[in-house]
């Protein structure tokens, strides 16, 4: 008897794991990501990595009826002039916990603000269930990071 191949969940099927409003917001972000030619690849379970020009710069996760956009690369945010986007980004950076599993989904965990929480190895920038203005700012963060990847790529070619 042959082993069955494990079926990886499709990101377009997130609606079965979320409320209609949350699913609509996540699908809206997925459409934006695809329109910007950013790759979406299933990692494990209900987690997908976002890749552009060979670099993973973010992820989408679904867990217990909630979803989040997350990423690690925070350096460029520190260089931004003060603006709504910078404030939004730093409002969604969580403090180091050292225990990856417990920090990934705990929205109550202390936020780090302008600290540099990069040595825990998890995804310090975590935006839970963005909708409305938060969803639009999340898209701006994705564009901001994509533009820096393009700059880095172009610099490596010269």
pLDDT in tens, 100-123: 444 544 555 555 555 544 445 566
* 78 in Cβ contact with 55 (< 8 Å): no
Q: 75 CB contacts (<8 Å, ≥6 apart)?
A: none
Walk across the sheet containing 39-42 and list its strands: 39-42, 47-52, 55-63, 66-71, 125-128
Tokens of 105: 């989904």
* pTM of structure: 0.83
* 151 in Cβ contact with 135 (< 8 Å): no
Q: Which ranges constitute the DSSP H helices of the chain?
A: 20-35, 75-79, 84-91, 100-104, 132-157
pLDDT in tens, 120-153: 556 678 899 999 999 999 999 999 989 989 998 8
């Amino acid at each position: 008897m042959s082993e069955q191949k494990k079926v990886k969940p499709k990101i377009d099927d997130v609606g079965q794991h979320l409320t209609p409003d949350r699913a609509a917001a996540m699908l809206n972000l997925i459409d934006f990501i695809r329109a910007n030619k950013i790759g979406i690849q299933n990692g494990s379970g209900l987690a997908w990595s976002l890749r552009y020009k060979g670099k993973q710069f973010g992820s989408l996760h679904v867990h217990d009826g909630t979803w989040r956009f997350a990423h690690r690369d925070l350096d460029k945010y520190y260089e931004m002039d003060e603006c709504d986007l910078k404030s939004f980004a730093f409002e969604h950076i969580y403090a180091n916990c050292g225990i990856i599993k417990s920090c990934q989904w705990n929205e109550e965990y202390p936020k780090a603000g302008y600290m540099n929480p990069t040595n825990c190895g998890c995804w310090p920038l975590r935006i839970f269930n963005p909708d409305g203005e938060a969803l639009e700012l999340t898209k701006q963060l994705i564009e901001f990071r994509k533009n820096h990847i393009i700059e880095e790529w172009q610099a490596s070619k010269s």
